[in-house]
Amino acid sequence: MSSKYQLLLIASILAAFGCSQPQNQEAENTSVEQKVDTLTYDQEKHFANMRQLTFGGDNAEAYWSFGGDMLVFQSNHKKWGVECDQIFFTDMQGDMANQAPPMISTGKGRTTCSYFLPGDSTVVYGSTHLVGDPCPPEPDRSSGKYLWPIYDSYDIFVTDLKGNIVSQLTDTPGYDAEATVSPQGDKIVFTSIRSGDLELYTMNIDGSNVIQITDELGYDGGAFFSPDGSKIVFRSSRPQTEEEIAEYKEFLSQGLVAPTAMEIFVVNADGSDMRQVTELGKANWAPFYHPGGEKIIFSSNHHGSRGFQFNLFMINEDGTDLQQITFDPVFDSFPMFSPDGTQIVFSSNRNNGGTRDTNLFVADWVDSEPNP
């Protein structure tokens, strides 16, 4: 996860790079054709009955409720009265084309990475609102280097669906954000800089029993539990050379990361048996487990010649059988399967009329393998 535009900007800066998405650019030459009068492309065999949910702004990190009848997401849609990311929710019958959905964050500061808690009456999310009402400033990107701010004002909160903060789960100095909840309803995984590096931690859903899961140098984030809660999939940048390590540490000292090189990793929920899933190069991120528990869907630009084309791919947990799932020429990311595995929600630049809007789409999932 990460603040969603981080990867929105990769399109314009990498052309350039996580709770993030690329802005629309002139598409690369491609033979992929979008079907007439539909939202899918010919090669997108896993999708049926696709429906567009939002219509304007940047909308991302949409995640299902435990009951599968609601979505919570972040948006900066100016028509909804916000200047930077805030948290909204909708039921699956909501008409967001004509009516703003309920906002459940404070409307202050910047937010990221929301997720329903068991019972579907409360939501966990990250926010900077405790340090001020304005949106925190974006980093200077005049050098052309894509940099992602790690705001030290982020903490993790729980809100009800009327926007009342119920509790604050973190209060350590520095970045605490990117929280998601186990399908078992007992644990939260999140990213924190409390150790001096960006590592993964788990905690109980009331904020107790915090346990560090990763401990290698590099940014670990955007984590999700497997369907049975026994494993965690995440994205990671792991600097290797002396130059890469020095650059990573220098940026981190300034509250920045440059997340242009990331791979997908899996680790047991107790921190044991860490293994790397992808070795594709470029930016591989936004991973989520297939309902069967042995495959991972994720977003990647490894196949594009100019860096900004992100599509969804699926891969076995052991790194075999890589398959391309989506074919939009600009941006597809943030995939999440519904709890029963019958639907998928994701963000895309498709059907945006040539604007830079990134919208939410939901489709029936057509699986070639039966779910257990």
Q: What is the mean pLDDT of each run of 10 residues along the chain (372 residues)?
A: 44 37 35 62 96 97 98 97 97 93 98 98 98 92 79 98 98 97 98 98 98 98 98 96 96 90 97 98 96 97 85 98 97 97 98 95 85 48
pLDDT at position 46 = 97
Amino acid present at 312: L
pLDDT at 198: 98
Domain that holds residue 335: 5-365
The per-residue pLDDT for 17 is 31
Number of Cβ atoms within 10 Å of the Cβ of 89: 22
**Does residue 370 fall inside a structural domain?**
no
Residue 58 located in a structural domain: yes
Task: Read off the tokens for 121.
Answer: 């009456």
Domain membership flag for residue 17:
yes
180 within some domain: yes
Domain membership of residue 371 (yes or no) is no
Q: Which long-range contacts (CB under 8 A, 24 or more apart) does 208-214 make?
A: 211/270, 211/271, 212/271, 213/189, 213/267, 213/269, 213/270, 213/271, 214/267, 214/271, 214/274
- The reported pLDDT for the residue numbered 272 is 98
Considering the domain boundaries, does residue 317 fall inside one?
yes
Burial class of residue 323 (count of CB atoms within 10 Å of its CB; 0-12, 13-18, 19+): middle
Separation of alpha carbons 350 and 328, rounded Å:
6
Residue 372 lies in a domain: no
- How far is Cα 161 from Cα 297, in angstroms, rounded to an integer? 29
According to the model, what pLDDT value does residue 166 have?
98
List 272's β-bridge partners, or say none.
Answer: none
C-alpha distances out from residue 172 to 192, 200, 293, Å: 9, 14, 33
155 occurs within a structural domain? yes
Asked if 4 contacts 19 with a C-beta cutoff of 8 angstroms, the reply is yes
Domain count, the chain: 1
Residues linked to residue 64 through DSSP beta bridges, in sequence order: 71
Q: What CATH number does residue 73 fall under?
A: 2.120.10.30
The residue length of the chain stands at: 372
pLDDT score for 369: 53
pLDDT at 304: 83
pLDDT for residue 22: 32
